[in-house]
Amino acid sequence: MTNELEKEIKSLVAKVIKIPEEKIDLKANLFTDLGVDSLLGVEIFAALDKKYHIDIPEAKLREAQTLADIIQMVKELKK
């Protein structure tokens, strides 16, 4: 289940930022390593919000920097 969720989130992030899944490392910084700009970062959250119906606080926009952070955040918010 956890792995499925991780795969699902990775796939969603890849589609939003238009980078192949295999090029997204869990620990890579989306903004500095993968060139995601801050508003495209918001779009990742918008897509997660839509898919999982989770209420992502604005403060998380600045905290989540890597795919691993995002996965962790979704897991916490889904609890």
Partner 1 sequence: MNGDTSAYWRKLLELDKPLPADPLAEYRSCHRHLRPFFYFLFKVLSVLFFPIQAAGMENIPARPPFILASNHLSVADYPSAVAKLPNAVRDRLHALATKYFYDNPAARFFMKIGSNVIRIDTVTDFFPALRAAACVLRAGEPIFIAPEGTRSETGELLPFKVGVGILAVELNVPVVPVYIRGTFEIIPAGAGMFRPGKINVVYGKPIDPAPYIEKKKTRQAYEVYKEFTEELRTRILELSKSPY
Taking alpha carbons only, the member of 46, 69, 76 closest to residue 58 is 46
Give SS3 for 54.
coil
Choice between 52 and 68, CB closer to partner 1:
52
Q: Which of 7, 26, 27, 46 binds partner 1 (CB under 8 A)?
A: 46
With a CB cutoff of 8 Å and minimum separation 6, the contacts of 6 are 71
Q: Rounded to the nearest whole angstrom, what is the least distance from the CB of residue 40 to partner 1 in the complex?
A: 6
- Residue 78 makes contact with partner 1 by CB under 8 A: no
Give SS3 for 29.
strand
Applying CB under 8 A, the residues found at the interface with partner 1 are 12, 15-16, 38-40, 42-43, 45-47, 49-50, 56, 58
